[in-house]
Amino acid sequence: MNELQLLTCSSIDLKWFQENSEKLRANYESQFVAIKNCSVIDADKNASILIGKLEKKGEDSNLVLIKFVTPKGEIVIL
């Protein structure tokens, strides 16, 4: 997969994550989730452990989109 293809897929994954954040919160609240092809392929409360899990599965963790599922009622203000 070249850079453009990766960016295209990744943007679709991000949109999917944002549109499904409420549903994802039911199972993954306060966890980091790894998203690929519009599905969660793994999750963990600790980002480093999640990256380790992905590597064990044979995924290149740097090419997988990782997002944090914020707890209900919480927003991030930078």
φ, ψ of residue 45 in degrees (nearest 5)? -70, -20
Please report whether residue 4 would count as binding another protein according to CB under 8 A.
yes
CA distance 28 to 26: 6
Please report whether residue 49 would count as binding another protein according to CB under 8 A.
no
Q: Which of 24, 32, 33, 43 binds another protein (CB under 8 A)?
A: 32
DSSP lists the bridge partners of residue 17 as: none
Kind of pairing between the strands at 39-44 and 32-36 = antiparallel
Tell me whether residue 38 or residue 47 sits nearer to another protein (CB atom): 47
Give the residues lining the site for another protein (CB under 8 A): 3-4, 6-8, 10-11, 13-15, 18-19, 21-22, 32, 47-48, 51, 61-68, 70, 74-78
